[in-house]
Structure 1
Amino acid sequence: MKTIRRTLTTIAGIAAIGVGLTACASGDGGASADGREEVVMWGSWSGDQVAQLNEQAGAFNDSQDEYRVKYVAQELVEEKLLTAIAGGQVPDVVLWDRYNTSLYAPKGALQPIDELVEEDSVDLDAFYQEALGELEVDGELYGLPLLVDNRSLYYNKQILAEAGVTPPTTWDELLTAAEALTVREGGKLQRAGFMLDDPGLFNMYLWQAGGDLLNDDETKVEFNSEQGLQVLDFWQRLLDAGVYEQGFGDGIDAFAEGRTAMRLDGPWQLSTYDKVEGLEYGVVQPPAGPNGDKGAGMGGFGLVIPQGAKNAEGAWEFMKWWATQPENGVNFAKIAGWIPANIEAANDPYFTEDEHLAGFIQTLEYARVRPSVSGYSDVEGKALIPALEKYLSGEIDAQTALDDAEQQGNRILEENR
């Protein structure tokens, strides 16, 4: 059994959080009932997803006789991890939203894995490099990318066919198609041609317009630009055309119920829509911007080992088994519908020959992750998205929204340097 390097880092500020953990949520480094070493995995996945993770963990457990992985769902898993470290009750491995790495690695919450990667000759080129980069901070790697996603364009085949509309490939085509697919009765919107309900997708529209979120050295925001205004102008054109209204579809899945013809969404919706009786749908790449630029955001999860994990050896074996062996990534897709971050696995015929998954795989060829610079998550959550929400509700104009977001965003970046 290899020795795992454990850095004895003093984690500033963590002790003040408290240690209110239940015993059942922690890893005790002990043995399971069959004598194997237990590997406790935390994650935020709940509901039906628990059974999916248990099935994947069971496949690992059946593949060898030394370790047994046990999944424990946690709300606010990142915050609870800090509490666990302070209290000495740490899981062995965490199903980790990669985007949080730049925030939590500097706090000492995660264990670097560079030595493990080198010792076991793990080929890092096997992964989507954008996903891998989200797990790197200051030249150190803190996990292996596991699952990737993006937002591609879902469309209702029957609705488009009845209107004589083909799936749009550009912004202009999207606007024209959405107008043709919109239904109003007595002036009231009955069916939206396109759902413009998520201002958090501004980044992908900005990339489609040829813009960027931050400047080259990632010290200033750059979305207050000609391209940023192009995005908001396009949104306004959609609203002015009446293809969507703020609040339409709230509380329901408008696409599943046939209340919208098109929407941008991720692969996590496939299992839901496949169960909707009578729903025939397709998935294609997001429409390109005014100059032909393509853009999409890449998100997803990785596996990380927390500082102080009692069974880091077993955690690493589980990480390697799942992330580096393509067949295991494909098998989990069959269980849960997620796309592997392992490129070979993602290009398996299971994905490329599937009428729904193929669109997401094509989009992954150019999908990008959000900046991993410290503080950027707050730039989006506290500056950009609130300003965009005010713009979409008509409270402020486009330039004011971008000006306000720029001012607050640059202040946040400065505070985090």
Structure 2
Amino acid sequence: MTGTGTGKGIDRRRLLAAGGGLALTGALAACGSNTGRGGGGSGLGISQWYHQYGESGVEQAVKRYAAAYRKARVTVQWRPGDYDRQTSAALLTASGPDVFEANGPLLDQIRGGQVVDLTSEVEPVKDDFNQAVLAPKIWQDKIWGIPQAIDMQMLYYRKSLLRDAGLQPPQTLDALVDAAKKLTSKKTKGLFLGNDGGVGVLSGTPLFAAGLSLITEDGKVGFDDPAAARTLGKIRRLYADKSLLLGAPTDWSDPSAFLQGLTAMQWSGLWALPQVEKAFGDDFGILAFPKDGPDGRPSVPVGAYGAAVSARSAHQAQARAFAKWLWVERTDFQQDFALSYGFHIPARTSLAKKAAKLRKGAAADAVRFATDYGYAEPLLWTSASRTAYQDALSRIIKDGASPESELKSVVRKVNAELARVGKT
């Protein structure tokens, strides 16, 4: 799930792109490199891998955490490039990481026996984790990854522009479509969903807003319903009405279009909140994606990398103990990781409630949205399913293709994927 990275690296918002993966960069050659340093413990050594974050200070912070661990020497490796591909290749060898960040290919790693069960490490505090981001780490009632920090997306709007147009903040998708059209002028578009009209960023968000899902809890297609076509048809209306900003200098993950007045409303992430607040003071608000239909509810996409342990680790017990120490026991490090380098939500709800930066204003609203309306792409939502849905969404939004016909094709492809991954 994510947006574009900064020029310095790949930031945490990459979790929230519908594609879920990085461009293939051929970085496999870097798999054997050691770019970290040893931790402060004595005795045996274990290695820990992170993808390259764009926010300044993250690398130094995670090395500081590792150095504070006293029961083993922890070497942190910072992994630029195509992290998912690097990790997938390294887990097939004895020279891979002991502890590593996991996101996109976790299902394949679980089914392939490449990661270990961390249920006993998480179980004592399981209910304290945001359940939306914990769910994709669970397979066959076992927990395979420990959520680290939450990223989320939301809708920003200028209060003064809506007020001048006689509009209230849109609470339904119909109201959003109408507001975007009324707010569009020669200088300003009503809404920015990304330069592709929302194809890349929206993913399942409109489906959840209609009261549907990508995959149901019992492992079936969650949008084989007429409500799905109805809702995606309204997203098409935004494009057809020419209410959407297209061709902005930066994409949805960067708030520049909103800050420069190119759009009255923009879909972006929590990470943009400090910039927006600095620019507009009290003249902005945030919303979840508005509900659609009688069974709908507001929708907020959330995501979190999880700490996982390699099944090929020669020091599994020690690696599990370290992962538990850092991501379950050391709540001070967890809060520091989430809020001192960029702007994110701790994965533990108790920490999110206590965090001073998240206790008032729009930040407090964002935490409430993530808790009450958050959804994450389910573990069974494979890359093949995602691609089929994204391609259909593009044809619906940009080409005006029939939502009913497109979704029927997607349902067939997702059913085939579910049959494939359901085989253990």
> Would the alpha carbon gap of residues 125 and 224 (structure 1) be closer, same or farther in structure 2, given more than 3 Å must change?
closer
Alignment partner, residue 73 of structure 1: 79
Match for 1:269: what amino acid? A
Match for 2:150: what amino acid? V
Are the aligned partners of 1:145 and 1:323 in contact in 2 as well (CA < 8 Å)?
no
Gapped regions of structure 1 (runs ≥ 5): 1-16, 185-189
> Would the alpha carbon gap of residues 377 and 238 (structure 1) be closer, same or farther in structure 2, given more than 3 Å must change?
same
Are the aligned partners of 2:236 and 2:396 in contact in 1 as well (CA < 8 Å)?
no
Are the aligned partners of 2:206 and 2:232 in contact in 1 as well (CA < 8 Å)?
no
Are the aligned partners of 2:41 and 2:67 in contact in 1 as well (CA < 8 Å)?
no
- Given candidates 258, 262, 279, the residue that maps to 1:259 is 262
Alignment of 1:28-177 (within 5 A): 38-48=45-55, 51-59=57-65, 61-62=67-68, 67-68=73-74, 70-97=76-103, 100-117=105-122, 122-177=124-179
Cα offset, 1:68, TM superposition? 4.4
Cα offset, 1:333, TM superposition? 2.9
Cα offset, 1:387, TM superposition? 0.9
Gapped regions of structure 2 (runs ≥ 5): 1-25
Matched, 1:371 2:378: yes
- Given candidates 299, 303, 306, the residue that maps to 1:299 is 303
Alignment partner, residue 235 of structure 1: 235
Alignment partner, residue 244 of structure 1: 244
- Report % sequence identity: 21
TM-score w.r.t. the length of structure 1 is 0.80
Aligned residues: 385
Q: Provide the secondary structure at the position in 2 that maps to 1:183.
A: coil
Cα offset, 1:386, TM superposition? 0.3
Alignment partner, residue 33 of structure 2: 24
Cα offset, 1:228, TM superposition? 0.6
Q: Provide the secondary structure at the position in 1 that maps to 2:107.
A: helix
Match for 2:173: what amino acid? W
Alignment partner, residue 5 of structure 1: none
Cα offset, 1:101, TM superposition? 2.0
- Given candidates 348, 351, 371, the residue that maps to 1:345 is 351
> Would the alpha carbon gap of residues 22 and 341 (structure 1) be closer, same or farther in structure 2, given more than 3 Å must change?
closer
Alignment partner, residue 326 of structure 2: 321
Q: Provide the secondary structure at the position in 2 that maps to 1:254.
A: helix
Match for 1:140: what amino acid? K
| Greater radius of gyration (CA) | 1
> Would the alpha carbon gap of residues 368 and 277 (structure 1) be closer, same or farther in structure 2, given more than 3 Å must change?
closer
Partners of 2:329 and 2:369 in 1: CA distance: 22
Q: Provide the secondary structure at the position in 1 that maps to 2:147.
A: strand
For residues 57-82 of structure 1, the C-alpha deviation after alignment (integer angstroms, 9 at most, x for no partner) is: 41453475854452412433232123
Alignment partner, residue 178 of structure 1: 180
Q: Provide the secondary structure at the position in 2 that maps to 1:233.
A: helix
Alignment partner, residue 290 of structure 2: 287
Q: Provide the secondary structure at the position in 2 that maps to 1:108.
A: coil
Alignment partner, residue 405 of structure 2: 400
Partners of 1:31 and 1:46 in 2: CA distance: 20
